[in-house]
A = this chain, B = another copy of it.
Amino acid sequence: MVCVTRIYEKPVLNSPILIEGLPGIGFVANIAALHLIQGLKAKMFSEIRSSSFQDFAISTENGKARFPISEIYYHKGRGEERDLLILYGNTQALTTLGQYELCGRVLDIAEELGCRQIITLGGLKHQKRVEIPGLYCAASDPESLREALSLGAKVLHGHIFGVAGLLLGLGKLRGMKGFCLLAQTPGLYPDATAAQEVLRVVCKMLRLRVDLSRLDVAAEATRNILESFGFGTPSTEEKAREKPRSRWLI
């Protein structure tokens, strides 16, 4: 056992798009995914636990033990809406190897359900707080790039860390198209404004009918969980990760 995957239901979907929303810089993707799940009443149908997650449990105020986990939700589009798969969770894997395996498992599930397109979300570290965070994109194929640019995003120039970058790369090897959408964020706290920018564009593109006026609720939920677990801000850790660990990558 390395990853344990549970699939509780096999939804029948029409070319679903996979949206990635794991924790990361500014928790932008995480907030956006949580809001989507709640707004669309998306249904959790798969859980993944990886041996590369933390080896502990956490007990919250009510005595309920929580565990590091990834979940996949589906949403059957209503009317013009696109069908969705949403990757949500409370951690990324602790090792490079674990990250690759987690992504591989997610793509196995997505591929089997007919997914041919991936959108990964995230925050882009930006020193100054801005009124309206800028959106940046990168894509693994020209068509996706045009699509992302047409939505108002600028071309990204830099690294896309973790699952947001890996899913695109490993998806491409399976013939899946995809792009990454990052919103500027100071990255020091769960950033509802950045998440809203990202979601605004995604909803427009996928014709999702989601009320975006109260993203602060999902951000607050994320913040509360973070604080009750005593993690504080993830800024230090992310600083460490911003420095590429590569050797000879050209």
The 8 A CB mask of A127-157 against B (1 = contact, 0 = none) is: 0000000000111101001001100000111
Q: Is the CB of A56 within 8 A of B165?
A: yes
Q: Is the CB of B55 within 8 A of A165?
A: yes
The 8 A CB mask of A103-144 against B (1 = contact, 0 = none) is: 010000000000000000000000000000000011110100
Q: A57-B180, A67-B172 are in contact. List 12 more A-B contacts (CB 8 A).
A: A2-B97, A22-B248, A30-B250, A52-B97, A55-B100, A59-B156, A59-B160, A65-B139, A67-B140, A69-B169, A91-B250, A222-B250
A214 contacts chain B at the CB level, 8 A cutoff: no
Number of A residues, CB within 8 Å of B? 84
The 8 A CB mask of A40-51 against B (1 = contact, 0 = none) is: 000000010111
User: Can you pick out 25 interface pairs between chain A and chain B where the beta carbons lie within 8 Å of each other?
Assistant: A23-B249, A23-B250, A30-B250, A51-B99, A53-B96, A53-B100, A53-B249, A54-B96, A54-B244, A55-B100, A56-B160, A57-B164, A58-B165, A63-B145, A63-B155, A64-B139, A64-B145, A68-B246, A69-B169, A91-B248, A91-B250, A94-B246, A226-B250, A229-B249, A230-B244
